[in-house]
Structure 1
Amino acid sequence: MNDSYYDYYIETVEPCEEQGYRNVQRFLHIYVHSIICILGFVGNTLVILTYAFYKRTKSMTDVYLLNVAIADILFVVALPLIIFSEQNNWALGTWSCKLLCGIYSINLYSGILLLACISLDRYLAIVQARRSFRLRSRTLVYSYLICGVVWFMAMLLSLPTFIYFERYKPSNSPSDLSEYDNVNQTHNRNNTEGSEDQGTLPTLQEEYVCYWHFEENDTARQMKTLVPSTQVAVGFCLPLLVMAFCYSQVVFTLLRAKNFQRHKAVRVVLTVVLVFIACHLPYNVALLCDIVTMFFLKECNEYERLRLALILTKSLAYLHCCLNPLLYAFIGVNFRNHFRKIVEDAWCLGKRYIGARRSSRSTLEAYLSSRRSVDSAACDNATSFTM
């Protein structure tokens, strides 16, 4: 085999250079995503601790907020595990690939759909206050049932990830190119025989990925179109339509009330909607462009620009899980008071532990229950967006 055939073969199968956007991806993984995971974990943990020890779930919004915090905290726990696995060629195998990516998908869907549920609950509480008072105050069974339906829908929408995601060597990996191996072996054999004008080819490392893997081309075409389309439709467009309708009605209702607190609440509502759009719209636009051009040949610079846009906008969408506690929980006075009490109690308990080195569990439970009873007496109707 001569050099001209080797050059032709390599030129034919060599994919686009991916070093540019991969460097950006590596930077985001190490720095930006680490900050997002830390802030998201701390903020959502505080929300869960607040509901666990200081504030009971007394309304539908409380139940939704608790479930949003659970979804976000599972998301920020799964994300660094996925990044670590990517850096280590998914060494734990296909099961970790399916599990981590599946959990990631479930929490992505459930978190966004629960935000739509919160907007619907705010619509019922403010716009349809008289009609929905009995429904919202009589029992919390409806809210738990709705949350169960949301989690089930998220699992259902994530089934393709559990089924078709696998750990494998990509088709353009050198370990999969048997013809390339033959070229390499022949080239090295010629070197051994004393050919001075040929150099040895570099040894290329095997690389594993966790991504879609299909046995049939028809299935691949259908799923690679259906799954991202569903993500755009159900994971963005549907919640956006629900939030736009509900919050627009809330704003119109509040504007009719001549009250400073009402107008302050309007700004809160508008902030919630604008932040949701700013975080999720760019990624879904980039994802939609990728769907449209998925099966068309693209120039290398066009391909790299699209990959770079997807990477950057996805990181922006990740940022929303850090902002949810601020937008939906701690923006209210009652939640800020609970947060202040968490810090005070943690400081007091720390001082007691350092001083005495002994603290009985019964004393701690009695302290927290007394604190909870005082808080519940003072804040019976506390919810986020308290108007």
Structure 2
Amino acid sequence: MDFTSLHKTTSEGLCNLDPNPLEIIIQTYIHAIICVFGLIGNSLVIVTYIFYKKTKTMTDVYLFNVAVADLIFVVALPFIIYNEQNSWLMGRVACKMLRSAYSINLYSGMLLLACIGGDRYVAIVQARRSFGTRSRSLIYSRLICSAVWVVAVALTLPTLIYTEYFEERTVETMTSTVMCQLSFDSYETAKLMKVLVPSLQMAVGFLLPLLVMVFCYSSIMDTLLSAQSSQRNKAVRVVLAVVVVFIVCHLPYNVALLDHTLSLFKERSCNTEKVKLQVLAISRSMAYLHCCLNPILYAFVGVRFRNHFRQIILDLWCFSKKYIYSARSSRTTSDICISGLRSSDVSNKMSSFSA
């Protein structure tokens, strides 16, 4: 989320904060990679749940919703990049909707990851108490997901309301730039919202999920380490990977965002402001990267999902052959596809840490 303008008055006068062309090119390539891999990974999770593996547990429901949240953002990301580099040609509505896309993804995705941690804590640490009840808890998981989406939309309202599409003129150069960012009518509102919005983002979108995940996964690791199981070491590595990746992706951006927020209403030099914005941009790209890693950390780490993934590839290959080969060949490949789809049911009986 951008809390800055392209031109700002500092202790040195008017400061041009436009990123240089090289920064724009590098960010474009990084965001394109994030978009491609995020689109593929989260689409595979959604396709798997719709066509191959029904949502049978609370974690399944949470994983499906995380994939939907991440998919919303990676679909919006190319349009954000295009509009930022082309003076927001898509207009006012696109400005508000695209700026809100990351906020909704952040709040819903992070809270859902906390829910997954809580569900795994109940399933592993409180296994005896929860035995026989988790299969009847699907209705509760759907209600929790609905509540998460409502909270995410509510917390995004300030961004949606105060994000404006406007033209900023520079008197010295006699040029104008089309902007899409938070804009306020009064200094008091600006001071409140420019502190409130990033504070909510850090508190609800990072600190709360982090605390929940650290508590739940540390308890899970303690339980796993005390268990005598051949799969123990692998499960511990998965838990460590989930927590470490979350911290590595989101901690730098939240630290940079906190530093930037604390200095919003202070006078600072032009060079200092440029460095702060560069650090904020780099760390924000790292935070974006998490939406590509979620399918790997939470879904495809499990045996069932890997089998479903292979089955999707096989079915795509089969159906492509159906339209390439002759009628005789197509009948053969069609049979293979049908048998492949049926064989996917067998993998439902396999267990994984993510289920």
- Flag whether TM exceeds 0.5 (same fold): yes
CA contact (8 A) 1:25 1:311 kept: no
Aligned mates of 2:17, 2:22 — CA distance in 1: 10
What are the equivalent positions in structure 2 for 1:232-243 lying under 5 Å apart? 232-243=202-213
* Corresponding position: 1:333 with 2:303: yes
Residue 345 of structure 2 is aligned to residue 347 of structure 1: no
For residue 213 of structure 2, what is the amino acid of its counterpart?
Answer: M
Aligned mates of 2:351, 2:61 — CA distance in 1: 13
CA deviation string 1:259-317 (max 9, x = no partner): 23112101110111000000000000000001111110001111111111100000011
8 Å Cα contact 1:62-1:383 kept in structure 2: no
- Per the alignment, residue 6 of structure 1 pairs with none
Which residues in structure 2 correspond to 1:1-387 (within 5 Å)?
Answer: 15-19=14-18, 21-23=19-21, 25-170=23-168, 173-174=169-170, 177=171, 204-356=174-326, 374-380=343-349, 382=351, 384-385=353-354
Letter in 2 for 1:16: C
Distance change >3 Å, CA 74–CA 31, structure 1 → 2: same
Report deviation, 1:79: 1.1
Alignment size in residue pairs: 345
Gaps of at least 5 residues in structure 1 are 1-9, 181-201
The verdict on how the C-alpha distance between 1:156 and 1:11 changes in structure 2, with shifts beyond 3 A counting, is: closer
1:375, 1:263 → 2: CA distance? 28
Q: Rg larger in 1 or in 2?
A: 1
SS in 2 for 1:209: strand
Deviation at residue 24 of structure 1 after TM alignment:
5.1
Identity %: 53
Report the aligned-residue RMSD. Answer: 2.6
Q: Can you give the 5+ residue segments of structure 2 that lack an aligned partner in the other structure?
A: 1-8
**Could you tell me how far apart the structure 1 residues matched to 2:176 and 2:218 are?**
53
Q: Whose strand proportion is higher, 1 or 2? A: 2
How far does residue 365 in structure 1 lie from its aligned partner after superposition?
A: 12
Q: CA deviation at 1:101?
A: 1.1
Paired residue type of 2:345:
S
2:95 alignment partner AA: C
What amino acid maps onto 1:91 in structure 2? L
Q: Return the letter of the residue paired with 2:269.
A: E
| Residues 257 and 284 of structure 1: CA distance in aligned 2, closer, same or farther (over 3 Å) | same
Q: Is the 8 A contact 2:11 2:270 kept in 1?
A: no
For 1:23 and 1:14, the matched residues in 2 are separated by 23
